[in-house]
Structure 1
Amino acid sequence: MDLKRKNQELTTVEASLSKRKRKKKQKMDLQEAMKKQNDVALLLVGKVISAVAKHSNLVFSPALINSVLTMTAATTETETLRSFILSFLKSSSTDELNAVFREIASVILVDGSKRGGPKISAVNGVWIEKSFSCNPEWKDLFENFFKATFSQVDFRSKAEEVRMEVNSWASRHTNGLIKSVLPHGSVTDETIWIYGNALYFKGAWEEKFNKSMTKRKPFHLVNGKQVHVPFMKSYERQYIGVYNGFKVLRLPYRQGDNDTSRQFSMYIYLPDENDGLDNLVEKMTSTDGFLDNHIPSWTVEVGDFRIPKFKIEFGFKASSVFDFDLGVSLYQKALVEIDEKGTEAAAATYMVGNKVSLCSRRHTPLRIDFVADHPFFFMIREDKTGTVLFAGQIFDPS
């Protein structure tokens, strides 16, 4: 009897150990998948800048592009489209993409404003041609996994009305910041479905800037000219890393009470040379693990510290930039504004499907100057997972 009990206890212990190992492996697999998508985010940055934003202001949301492509890959019956998306996102399976989506939706894109953290709103929407027979499993995925609003609409005779309604949906869910993502003619009587998402972020700096210290100063453009814009100034210690040819500033956002699972920050990547942003972006987008290897982890004393206030908006047809040629079109528009209090940012993305497709660090000095008075790159990122919510560059903050 004792032997039988011992065997039962041993089996229970082995089962418990096996379960822990499985959980540990799943966690490691998820972390690796998240890291892979963070690398993809920088690849997207490089493609967008080289195609449509060379030497111009830019802001867009890699996270939303990833999200809408994940929805498409999980529900399309077109194997060619699914394979293209998996290859594009460097993912091994739709299960892997879904796991990343679940982590981002349940941990990162959760509103923290009631606890004093960033206000975050992230929504998904699906519009299907009403005469189109929708797979019940898709509908279940949309509503219960992706938490998407699901609407059957009349593209055949009311395409323009649907386009306007879909654009209004984005505006409603971004505090009115994002309007007219889908241009005239993008939705036609041949449209079968539209998958969309919208993201709104409003975060206060952990240490706000004193508005009385904001002064207009020159910002140096790449053509040698100058524009005078308001610069925010501070004498407080800052998270700054000094590297070969550039500096990185991390500006943390105020976190919610007892919110230990995440930390949002804005990063500014400032080249040493006034015209050095092209080379810096090239380095960022071609070096594996660049973001994680260039994170300022401690505060330093500052000398001259100034960053400009700015508000920029950018919209583009992403499918043209990313060479999609599978009967689908991808559109995105984003906006970001920073001031003494913090940051307000928003974006919306739509995937439109037509008939042909179904549904080495150097020594840091005691005091560091960080004067962002020439073109720089920026990001809004969740630090624990590395997820890039927004990315962009400033060539002219005026």
Structure 2
Amino acid sequence: MVAATSTEETLRSFILSFLKSSSTDELNAVFREIASIVLIDGSKRGGPKIGVVNGVWMEQSLSVNSSLKDLFENFFKAPFAQVDFRFKAEEVCKEVNSWASNHTNGLIKNIIPSGSVTSYTDCIYGNALYFKGTWQNKFSDSLTSNKEFHLLNSTSVSVPFMRSFGKQYIRAYDGFKVLKLPFRQGDDTKRQFSMYFYLPDKKDGLADLVKEMASTSGFLDSHIPSQVDEFRIPKFKIEFGFEASRAFSELELDSVSMYHKAWLEIDEDGAKAMTISFLNSKGIYGTSTLS
């Protein structure tokens, strides 16, 4: 949404480069395909439940033409609200946080810190994604038992591990192993969702593995697991958040701040995940009419 609608050329170019796209038209075409195929709710067909919602809050004193509003509401399916940032910034911040909480079933709250929305804010973009899938081969509750789990600080804790004796996808590579857990897809033949787990052989090897994944082109496609009979993984629930504005630091875009939070839980039946992001822009639009 930012690349397609912002008048800030530096920001638009950065987004296109980051997403490896040559133009906003190409980016919009990719978005259209993802929205119409990947992000369609499959729960009525026996597949994963998927929900996506976008939102836009823009300063009411700025001129907005009908084509931009149509782009938000009909193409991105993003409800468009003109709000009073100049005199009611904190109230708008609470409204946005309430929107985030409502669209994540109350699991993600206060994503935008108090004070980060000010009278200089022109626009806020929001995006929330919900996923709930059932394993193709569920784990048996009776096989779940406590085992040792190693932490990054070199200590360990006892946590419940799920165990399977059914055929699953695991493969060992140099320094790490990969597990693939497919989700039930029902009668959906156009797509297949799976969760991948990457486990370093060394107890302190996670940072090096993440670095290798991020720096090696085609890493995921070149490390595909094969079937095995027995394995175990821990049940877990995690939540994390961070201010992603440092991604824009090299551009010296002080007018942009970005916040991201995610929540994930897996158990014997399947996995549930939610993620939400907001981009807060100040002075990107100025006072000119958007086109």
Q: Same fold (TM over 0.5)?
A: yes
Query: After superposition, where does 1:173-322 map in structure 2 within 5 Å?
Result: 173-257=103-187, 259-296=188-225, 298-302=226-230, 305-322=231-248
Query: For residues 183-219 of structure 1, what are the alpha-carbon distances to aligned partners after superposition, in whole Å with 9 as ceiling and x for unaligned?
Result: 1111111111111110111111111111121111111
Q: CA deviation at 1:322?
A: 4.4
Matched, 1:101 2:28: no
Letter aligned with residue 325 of structure 1: E
CA distance in 2, matches of 1:312, 1:197: 20
2:276 is matched with which residue? 348
Q: Check the 8 A contact 1:215/1:232 in 2, yes or no.
A: yes
AA at the equivalent of 2:194: S
Using the alignment, how far apart are the partners of 1:358 and 1:317 within structure 2?
22
**d(CA) in 2 for partners of 1:156, 1:240:** 55
Say yes or no: does 1:169 pair with 2:96: no
Q: Distance in 1 between matches of 2:114 and 2:13?
A: 30
Is the CA contact 1:336–1:343 (under 8 Å) kept in the aligned structure 2? yes
Report the residue type matching 1:311 in the other structure. K
- 1-side partners of 2:119 and 2:189: how far apart? 48
- SS of the aligned residue for 1:97 comes to helix
Deviation, 1:321, is 4.2
1 or 2, which has the higher helix percentage? 1
Give the Å deviation of 1:279: 1.9
Structure number, greater radius of gyration: 1
| Cα contact 1:121–1:173 (8 A) shared by 2 | no
- Identity percentage over the alignment? 67
1:175–1:200 contact (8 Å) kept in structure 2: no
Deviation string 1:267-286 (CA, Å, 9 cap, x unpaired) is: 00111121121221122111
For 1:152 and 1:210, the matched residues in 2 are separated by 51
Give the TM-score normalised by the residue count of structure 2. 0.93
Alignment of 1:320-331 (within 5 A): 320-323=246-249, 325-326=252-253, 327-331=255-259
Matched, 1:334 2:262: yes
State the AA in 2 paired with 1:340.
Answer: E
- TM-score, normalised relative to structure 1: 0.69
Q: Helix, strand or coil: the match of 1:95? A: helix
Counterpart Cα distance in 2 of 1:221 and 1:143: 45
Aligned to 2:289: none
AA matched with 1:309: K
Unmatched runs of 5 consecutive residues or more in structure 1: 1-70, 360-398
The code of the aligned residue for 2:193 comes to: F
* Superposed CA RMSD: 1.4
In the alignment, structure 2 segments of 5+ residues that lack a partner are 287-291
Is the 2:243–2:259 contact (alpha carbons within 8 Å) kept by the matching residues of 1?
A: yes
Equivalent residue of 2:63, what SS? coil
**2-structure distance, mates of 1:269, 1:149:** 38
| 1:213-257 deviation line (CA, Å, top 9, x unaligned) | 111111122333211111111111111122111111000011132
Amino acid at match of 1:276: G
Q: Write the letter of the residue equivalent to 2:159.
A: V
